[in-house]
């Protein structure tokens, strides 16, 4: 299933686990991350600095850190999520590490980043970054699990700019903007 345009959404209430995969060949150090908010309003982040845990809270884990030093080629970072029940929101993000460090715009437009989510039933959802906004951090997709009727996957496609990644609040400011 394709979510090519910003605002496109699909009901994903049937799944409890998923695998998020971000791929690129561009010579850039892109990083996959997820900011989450639990039903108890606790916020956290899974990224290269805290790769998470599949068997304990937050039940998310990142595979590793690829493209370090702006390495081109078949780069892929994968995040597994084994339990979504306790999550109200999961925001799937990408940033250009080198550009975040110096506060300059990222190379999103010149890149070939692709994001896919596969649920526990084998259904794949492809999300296309659909923003002309400048920035070095991109909010690609949102899993909105706040409605008791079921979760939605939304192509959020929003960009923002950071100079240094110092705390979670900086990322939540981009989400809330």
Q: For the ranges 52-61, 96-105, 129-138, which has the lowest average pLDDT? A: 129-138
Q: Which of 38, 36, 80 is nearest to 62 (CA)?
A: 80
Sign of the dihedral defined by the CA atoms of residues 10, 117, 177, 96, in that order = negative
Looking at the predicted structure, is the pLDDT value of residue 101 above 80? Answer: yes
% residues pLDDT > 70 (the chain):
97
Taking only the tens place, the pLDDT of each residue in 107-144 is 777 788 889 999 888 899 999 887 766 788 889 999 99
> Which domains, from first to last, does the chain contain?
2-176 (2.60.60.30)
Confidence of residue 167 (pLDDT cuts 50, 70, 90): low
Report the residue count for the chain.
177
Q: Which residues pair with 75 in a beta bridge?
A: 24
Q: In which order are the strands placed within the sheet that holds 2-3?
A: 2-3, 124-127, 114-119, 18-24, 75-81, 60-62, 52-53
- Mean predicted lDDT score pLDDT of the chain: 87
């Amino acid at each position: 299933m394709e979510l090519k345009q910003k605002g496109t959404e699909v009901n994903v209430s049937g799944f409890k686990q998923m695998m998020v995969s971000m791929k690129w060949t561009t010579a850039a150090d892109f990083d996959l991350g997820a900011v989450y908010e639990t039903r108890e309003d606790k916020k956290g982040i899974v990224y290269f600095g805290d790769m998470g845990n599949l068997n304990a809270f937050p039940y998310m884990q990142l595979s590793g850190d690829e493209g370090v030093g702006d390495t081109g080629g078949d780069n892929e970072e994968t995040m597994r999520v084994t339990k979504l029940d306790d999550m109200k929101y999961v925001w799937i993000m990408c940033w250009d590490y080198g550009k975040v460090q110096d506060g300059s715009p990222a190379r999103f437009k010149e890149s070939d980043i692709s994001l896919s989510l596969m649920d526990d039933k084998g259904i794949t959802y492809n999300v296309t970054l659909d923003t002309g906004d400048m920035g070095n951090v991109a909010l690609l997709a949102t899993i909105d699990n706040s409605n008791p009727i079921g979760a939605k996957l939304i192509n959020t496609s929003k960009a923002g700019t950071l100079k240094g990644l110092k705390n979670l609040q900086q990322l939540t400011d981009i989400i809330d903007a």
